Amino acid sequence: MDFMFQSNAEVLTALGERIAAHRLQQNQTQEELCRVVGISRLVLHRLENGKGCTLENFLRVLRGLGLLDRLDAFLPEPGVSPMELLKLKGQPRKRASGGKSRG
């Protein structure tokens, strides 16, 4: 699914549906998952119905479903190009230079 051209609400709905599908695939009720991860059923219900939740609760749910390791594929560590390393003399970048517009 290409989230780039979807609204935030559409992305939240799709993520909620995926969370629910994974939970059901593992044959867990909402109550069971909530008890394991330490959130209320209302929080999970809102997440699964595309209403969102806090990032902390989202991480709890992913951990409870055994999906937390997939965040690395979602948001991998940024690599540094060899040319950038030469410019920085081996030091990691700490600040943005600004001035470039993002499209």
- Domain assignment of residue 34, given as a range: 3-73
| 49 confidence band (pLDDT: 50, 70, 90) | very high
89 is a domain residue: no
Number of domains in the chain: 1
Model pTM score: 0.74
Q: What is the pLDDT of residues 57-81, one digit of tens each?
A: 999 999 999 999 998 888 888 777 7
Instruction: Quote the percentage of the chain above a pLDDT of 90.
Output: 64
Closest CA to 60 of 33, 96, 24, 28: 33
35 is a domain residue: yes
57 is a domain residue: yes
60 is a domain residue: yes
**CATH number of 50's domain:** 1.10.260.40
Higher pLDDT, 61 or 88: 61
46 is a domain residue: yes
